[in-house]
């Protein structure tokens, strides 16, 4: 229901450790439900894995949601080589908890 049955993101190559940041204008965008929650969460950078854990949805669903927001220009996704070891360990632990 959250993704309208879609399982494939429109933006290719979104890795679970990629950092997602909301654009400044995204808070005033007319978004609904989970998309708005992602934008609010990503006022500070969060990985796709962290987004999935925060929303309590599978990683595939989180990827589709982030992909929709990227294509609409509401969030940007950073390169994965920006992550520290501590961040990667935190992501690993969150994925294990799912």
* Mean pLDDT for the chain overall: 86
What pLDDT, on a 0 to 100 scale, did the predictor assign at position 71? 92
- The predicted-structure confidence for 12-26, as pLDDT tens digits, reads as follows 888 888 899 999 888
Q: Residue 74 falls within a domain, yes or no? A: yes
What pLDDT, on a 0 to 100 scale, did the predictor assign at position 93? 87
pLDDT range class, residue 79, cuts 50, 70, 90: low
**Could you give the residue ranges of the DSSP H alpha helices within the chain?**
33-41, 48-55, 59-71, 85-97
Lowest-confidence pick of 34-43, 45-54, 78-87:
78-87
> In total, how many domains does the chain have?
1
**pTM across the whole model:** 0.76
Residue ranges making up the domain that contains 63: 19-97
Q: Residue 84 falls within a domain, yes or no? A: yes
pLDDT range class, residue 40, cuts 50, 70, 90: very high
Under a CB-based contact definition with an 8 Å cutoff, are residues 31 and 74 in contact? yes
The Cα 98–Cα 89 span in angstroms is 15
Q: Residue 35 falls within a domain, yes or no? A: yes
E strand or H helix at 59, and its extent? Answer: helix 59-71
The Cα 21–Cα 42 span in angstroms is 5
């Amino acid at each position: 229901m959250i993704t309208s049955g879609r399982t494939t993101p429109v933006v290719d190559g979104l890795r679970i450790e990629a950092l997602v940041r909301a654009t400044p204008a995204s808070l005033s965008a007319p978004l609904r439900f989970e998309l708005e929650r992602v934008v609010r969460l990503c006022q500070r950078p969060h990985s796709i894995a962290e987004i999935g854990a925060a929303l309590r949805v599978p990683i595939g669903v989180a990827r589709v949601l982030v992909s929709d927001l990227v294509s609409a220009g509401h969030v940007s996704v950073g390169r994965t080589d920006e992550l520290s070891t501590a961040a990667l360990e935190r992501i690993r632990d969150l994925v294990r908890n799912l």
